[in-house]
Amino acid sequence: MTIRTRFAPSPTGYLHIGGVRTALFNWLLTRRHGGKFILRIDDTDMERNKAEALQPILDGFKWLGLHWDEGPEAGGPYGPYFQSQRHDRYFAAAMKLLESGHAYPDYMTKEQLDADRKAAELAKRPYVHRGPHRDTPADECVRLFREKPTTLRFKIPTGQSAVVEDLICGHCEQKTDLIGDPVILRADGRALYNFASVVDDVDMQITHVIRAREHLSNTYVQVLVFAALGAAMPQFGHVPVINEPNSNKKLSKRDMKKFLTPEIRAKLHAIGYSDEQIESRDDLNPVTVAFYREMGYLPAAVVNYLGRLGWSLDDKSEYIPLDQMIANFGLERVNDSPARFDPDKLYWLAGEYMKELKLADKVAGCLPFLQRAKLVGDAPSADELQKLERILTASAERIKLFSDILTYGAPFFRADPVYEPKAVEKRLKKPGAADLLSEFRSRLQSASPFDAPTLDKSLHDFCTEKGLKVGELVHPLRVATTGVEVGIGLFDALAILGRDEALRRIDLALSKCS
């Protein structure tokens, strides 16, 4: 048997972290066993979904490297892969259920349904809908529906249990007497998601349905629909939810706005986004995949983190390259408890993957951030590229994201330093600091060669002669030449700037102290 899994996002314009983790588990399962991963678009809700919102989702999967075997752009033998293009299939399947006595037309009005629901509440009993034509013979139901099309409901068999032998949750069951007869077709002929999903799974020969735990309640109805259609039942695995950082609350799409904290906004501002742009885009948010792409995370790090979020290789491994993850992935090691999203661990993993990246690839990844900030032109010169290489080499493990180049590299690409006011007050205007800079300036002027080891020795010798602590000169010299207190090693910074530029910047800083 060839394993066939699927992921069916709605075209809302962004990929939620929880959804991508579920898609990844499906993808890993098929890749390990040589199966097929199908991307199917759930766009039946025409009011909420927009065609232009699909591309960001496809781009997100491509960025992560989760390429699908069948679906949009890829095609395949079981298309179309958009639910909005499969209405004929849903209608035909609904008619099959109607003709076989597994469905019935329901002409009850909204007011009648509301009255029934309210009566159940007053009687303090669960509301379980059973329509007037539930026990009407199938032939008569077909005649009624053809004469007057209306809502179609699936007839839940009574006195049974809907059973799901879940690959993650184990044995699950629900008494059918507690399940109301669900609508499968609206009065306008549109299929509801729960029903359309079953028809699609049957048509596309899906063997494994791996999805979020919150869908388990839908699965009880769906296994009954599979049986009524006489279709082969896929195996189900329901993945636990992802909770918010430092919380037992689900990481929900409904609460997205609260994750746009001042800290997150500051990070987005730093890479060039305005408040207006942030407000107008749902995907510039830490609960979406696009946020991590925009911030310059390596996709391999994001995939590693999401794969590890609820699944384990063993009791200690966190850094798990993709080939190792594919070779070892299995649902038996998926935890049945909620996972907690930890942005600090993801950032750490990003750094681990950045360590392995070749210098040329780091340059290619960092360059767009410098260009967007207008620190480097569209066609960078050989000198600019060489400078960027030197900065990245000197930054070493400080660069965990491509956008970190703005912190460590920007001072070297600006015509003049942008002096942080607090740094100027604390370091440059400190009594005696200007005099030390003026005196050490002559040492820099005569240093030869003008490289990091020579400058390091020169500064230490100077401090020894003057009876100074090294920090008394290092801090004002860093601020004078870069404008900031944090950055790459000072001596590397001076060497990258070069003698003339370093001296010019010291003079500029001294002019601010006078």
pLDDT at 25 over 70: yes
Kindly state whether residues 226 and 326 are assigned to the same domain: no
What burial class does residue 2 get, using C-beta atoms within 10 Å of its C-beta: 0-12 exposed, 13-18 middle, 19+ buried?
A: exposed
User: Is there a domain that residue 190 lies in?
Assistant: yes
Among the candidates 183, 210, 239, a domain finishes at 239
SS3 116: helix
Pairing of strands 183-185, 170-175: unpaired
Q: How far apart are CA 404 and CA 420, in angstroms?
A: 18
Kindly state whether residues 451 and 496 are assigned to the same domain: yes
Kindly state whether residues 220 and 345 are assigned to the same domain: no
49: pLDDT confidence band, cut at 50, 70 and 90?
low
Give CA separation, 253 vs 19, 170, 376, in Å. Answer: 10, 28, 37
Tell me the residue range of the domain where 150 lies: 85-239
Kindly state whether residues 265 and 375 are assigned to the same domain: no
Kindly state whether residues 377 and 429 are assigned to the same domain: no
Predicted local confidence at residue 253, as pLDDT: 79
CA atoms within 13 A on the CB side of 136: 20
Q: How far apart are CA 143 and CA 388, in angstroms?
A: 76
Kindly state whether residues 214 and 318 are assigned to the same domain: no
Burial 366-379 (b: 16+ CB within 10 A, else e): bbebbeebebbeee
CATH number of the domain that residue 479 is part of: 1.10.10.350
Rg of the Cα atoms in the chain: 31
The label of the residue with tokens 């079981």 reads: 78
Nearest CA among 447, 444, 330, 448 for reference residue 26:
330
Token pair for 198: 């079953």
Walk across the sheet containing 151-154 and list its strands: 103-106, 151-154, 183-185
Task: Write out pLDDT tens, residues 404-434.
Answer: 999 999 999 999 999 999 999 999 999 999 9
Is the peptide bond between 449 and the residue preceding it cis, with omega within 30 degrees of 0? yes
Task: Say if CB 387 and CB 365 are below 8 A apart.
Answer: no
Region 11-38: mean pLDDT is 94
Give CA separation, 229 vs 102, 130, 344, 481, in Å. Answer: 9, 20, 48, 75
Of 6-15, 79-88, 127-136, 341-350, give the lowest mean pLDDT range. Answer: 6-15
Region 237-256: mean pLDDT is 90
User: Is there a domain that residue 15 lies in?
Assistant: no
- Looking at 96, 253, 267, 345, which residue is catalytic? 253
The label of the residue with tokens 């000072």 reads: 490
CA atoms within 13 A on the CB side of 427: 25
According to DSSP, the residues that pair with 38 across neighbouring strands are: 6, 70
Task: Say if CB 454 and CB 448 are below 8 A apart.
Answer: yes
Q: How far apart are CA 37 and CA 68, in angstroms?
A: 5
Q: How far apart are CA 513 and CA 172, in angstroms?
A: 74
Which segments of 257-395 are extended strands (E)? 339-340
466 labelled catalytic: no
Task: Write out pLDDT tens, residues 490-512.
Answer: 999 999 999 999 999 999 999 98
The label of the residue with tokens 């007050």 reads: 425
User: Is there a domain that residue 65 lies in?
Assistant: no
Domain count along the chain: 4
pLDDT at 50 over 70: no
Kindly state whether residues 129 and 174 are assigned to the same domain: yes
User: Is there a domain that residue 448 lies in?
Assistant: yes
CATH number of the domain that residue 379 is part of: 1.10.8
Kindly state whether residues 403 and 442 are assigned to the same domain: no
Q: Which helix (H) or strand (E) holds 149?
A: none
The label of the residue with tokens 């979904």 reads: 49
User: Is there a domain that residue 42 lies in?
Assistant: no
SS3 68: coil
pLDDT at 47 over 80: no
Task: Say if CB 17 and CB 306 are below 8 A apart.
Answer: yes
Kindly state whether residues 345 and 374 are assigned to the same domain: no
User: Is there a domain that residue 419 lies in?
Assistant: yes
What burial class does residue 511 get, using C-beta atoms within 10 Å of its C-beta: 0-12 exposed, 13-18 middle, 19+ buried?
A: exposed
Task: Write out pLDDT tens, residues 273-283.
Answer: 999 999 998 88
Q: Mean pLDDT of all residues in the chain?
A: 95
Give CA separation, 483 vs 371, 397, 480, 510, in Å. Answer: 21, 22, 6, 12
Kindly state whether residues 273 and 381 are assigned to the same domain: no
Residue 370's identity, in one-letter code, is L
Task: Write out pLDDT tens, residues 88-114.
Answer: 999 999 999 999 999 999 999 999 999
